[in-house]
Amino acid sequence: MAKPKSKNLILASTTFERVVHWVLALSCLFLFLTGFGLMFHSLSFVARFFPGGYATMKLLHNIDGIIFGIAFLFALIAWGKDTLYFDEDDKKWFRVLGGYLWEVEKVPECGKFNAGQKTFFIVLFLFWFIMVGTGIFMWFPIFPPALTRWLYVLHVFGVLVLGTFLVIHFYLGTYGNPGTFQVMGHGYVTKAWAKLHRPKWLRDVEAGRRSI
Amino acid sequence: MTEKVMLVDVSKCTACRACQVACKQWNKLPAEKTQQHGTHQNPPDLSWATWNLIRFTEIPLKEGGVKWLFRRDACLHCTDPGCQRACPVPGCIVKTPEGAVVINSELCIGCKMCVNSCPFEIPRINPEDNKAYKCTFCWDRISHGLIPACAKACGPGAITFGDKDVMIARAYARAKALGGDATVYGDKYVKGTHVIYVLPEKVRMYERMVVNPSIPISLILWKDILKPLSVLAIGAALVGTFFHYVIKGPKRPEEGGE
């Protein structure tokens, strides 16, 4: 998007970040759709969306798994350096859980991502490894049955964790935090938003210490 | 239609392998290229095209020589089949009123979940069409009042077929008559198998015979615990975020923004 004229707006994410986020989001949602279709007999109507039914749905689930798996590598490039560490302010953030659950006088200041977002990314990193790792060996079972059957357990455990995270992530990124969705949309947020959600980051950007 | 049981009395088996051949013939299964691996067991293992195999076990005797144990290996047709529990496609693995567990290979998508969930490691994949195959209990014969092809071909009467109660009673009578270590194998596992063995020796003496088989714990954890729990967790997250919005409300930036 062309730079808006309003001085109130500031670019919160690069084009690279936004594209990676959308590829991750769409491939993840499609994995959930096809995965649930395979997981629940009661959702057998999902298979009817695909010519070839279940066989096609399973193959697309597998192929989409590769897309998601590769997209996450780009996510690591995009957000790894801002998420894979915790500092003193993050510890304080955890003590009040960012002021999300009870009234807090002052929420500890954070940079580009708060401690909750960092945790989300680290858990996603862990389960990316679990889901892709188990998925590959479910698709191509080179291990004996006594081992392979445990991959299904891990895979469905990933569904539990990632499904729950996805719902909370969607809520916090949209109507739970008004103004946040445009970080993934056209990229521009208001400075008031940045002051509330990324105070240290805003100071750094305005002082020229970091670009985005 | 009453439940049926196939009784395999291995004490009567002479390892003629007529059952193996009859199975291939009735089910139109191709012969396989095999290899000599030091025993008369041929082919060495079950496969997508070998649903019925006589396993040869040689037990060296103290006084010299060997004792030969023969066992017909094939699907046991569980009352509670792990393969069916694991299969993601509705109607792909079905149980017939006679007790047969049948894979409808036309619906199979080659996910191999049945292969990895069977307590007896029975279903096998055909690498050419990537579909699972196994013994069908000759459901196409028994549903028309015939007995399975293997039972029909068995000369010494080691494989017999009939109503469940009658066959189980016959199995226990036979084991009692044999005495010693003789046991009945099958009626106590996975809510009762529809293939029941009379084994003259201890279970562990026979090749690939599973001692105390049961539905794998992983399968229970996967399908009965984590699967419903994931629905519960995702539902709780939906309800939780909704009420967070209602009770705590969204986190709005100060006025002056969009």
Residues of chain A contacting residue B240, judged by C-beta atoms under 8 Å apart: 168
In chain B, positions 205-244, which contact chain A (CB-CB < 8 Å)? 216, 218-219, 221-222, 226-227, 229-230, 233-234, 236-238, 240-241, 244
Is pLDDT at B256 greater than 60 in this prediction? Answer: no
Is pLDDT at A97 greater than 70 in this prediction? Answer: yes
Asked if B32 and B56 count as a contact pair (C-beta separation under 8 A), the reply is: no
* pLDDT at res. B258: 44
The CA angle A166-A15-B255, to the nearest 5 degrees, is 70
Whether A204 is in a domain gets the answer no
Mean pLDDT of chain A: 95
DSSP for B193-242, written as a single string: BSEEEEESS-GGGSTTPPSS----HHHIIIIIIIHHHHHHHHHHHHHHHH
Residues A12-62: tens digit of each pLDDT: 999 999 999 999 999 999 999 999 999 999 999 999 999 999 999 999 999
Tokens of B191: 């809510």
Contact A54 B255 (CB under 8 A): no
Residues of chain A contacting residue B88, judged by C-beta atoms under 8 Å apart: 38-39, 41, 54, 58
What whole-number distance in Å separates Cα of residue B43 and Cα of residue B21?
Answer: 12
Please state the rounded mean pLDDT for residues B238-242.
97
* pLDDT at res. B151: 98
> What is the identity of the amino acid at A151?
L
Residue A91's CATH number: 1.20.950.20
Whether A159 is in a domain gets the answer yes
Q: In this structure, what DSSP letter does residue B78 have?
A: B
Is pLDDT at A2 greater than 80 in this prediction? Answer: no
* pLDDT at res. A7: 79
* pLDDT at res. A1: 61
Contact B257 A193 (CB under 8 A): yes
Interface test with B, best of A171, A191, A198 (most B CBs within 10 A): A171
Q: Which residues contact A45 (CB under 8 A, 6 or more apart)?
A: none
Quote the distance between the C-alpha of residue A125 and its chain's center: 9
* CB-closest option in A153, A168, A195 to B222: A153
* pLDDT at res. B255: 66
Mean pLDDT of chain B: 95
Q: How many CA atoms lie within 13 A of B56 on its CB side?
A: 16
Asked if B248 and B240 count as a contact pair (C-beta separation under 8 A), the reply is: no
Tell me, what's the ipTM? Answer: 0.93
Quote the distance between the C-alpha of residue A173 and its chain's center: 10
* pLDDT at res. B257: 45
Residues of chain A contacting residue B230, judged by C-beta atoms under 8 Å apart: 156, 159-160, 163
User: Smallest Cα–Cα separation from A166: which of A16, A15, A33, A20?
Assistant: A33
The CATH number of the structural domain formed by B4-205 is 3.30.70.20
Instruction: Tell me how crowded residue B95 is: count the other CB atoms within 10 A of its CB.
Output: 18
Residues B63-109: tens digit of each pLDDT: 999 899 999 999 999 999 999 999 999 999 999 999 999 999 999 99
Distances (CA, A) of A11 to A159, A196, A203, B44, B206: 33, 15, 14, 67, 71
User: Any idea where the domains of chain B sit in the sequence?
Assistant: 4-205, 216-258
Peptide bond into B123 cis (omega under 30): no
Alpha helices in chain A (DSSP H): 15-39, 53-83, 88-96, 115-139, 145-173, 191-197, 199-206
What whole-number distance in Å separates Cα of residue A157 and Cα of residue B223?
Answer: 11
Is pLDDT at B17 greater than 90 in this prediction? Answer: yes
Is pLDDT at A3 greater than 80 in this prediction? Answer: no
Whether A138 is in a domain gets the answer yes
**If DSSP codes are grouped into helix, strand and coil, which group holds residue B71?**
strand
Please state the rounded mean pLDDT for residues A81-98.
95
Residues B127-138: tens digit of each pLDDT: 999 999 999 999
* pLDDT at res. B139: 97
Contact B88 A152 (CB under 8 A): no
* CB-closest option in A167, A168, A190 to B253: A190
Whether A112 is in a domain gets the answer yes
* pLDDT at res. B84: 98
* CB-closest option in B118, B222, B252 to A178: B252
Domain count for chain A? 1
Please state the rounded mean pLDDT for residues A77-93.
96
Alpha helices in chain B (DSSP H): 18-26, 82-86, 113-117, 139-142, 149-153, 164-178, 217-219, 227-247
Considering just the CA atoms, what is the radius of gyration of chain B in Å? Answer: 24
Is pLDDT at B212 greater than 60 in this prediction? Answer: yes
Asked if B249 and A180 count as a contact pair (C-beta separation under 8 A), the reply is: no
Whether A149 is in a domain gets the answer yes
Q: At what angle do helices A88-96 and A115-139 cross, to 10 degrees?
A: 90
Contact A171 B117 (CB under 8 A): no
What whole-number distance in Å separates Cα of residue A73 and Cα of residue A177?
Answer: 27
Q: Which of A185-194, B34-43, B145-154, B237-246 has the lowest mean pLDDT?
A: B34-43
Please state the rounded mean pLDDT for residues B1-30.
96
Q: Which domain holds residue A151?
A: 14-188
**If DSSP codes are grouped into helix, strand and coil, which group holds residue B190?**
coil
The CA angle B166-B171-B178, to the nearest 5 degrees, is 145
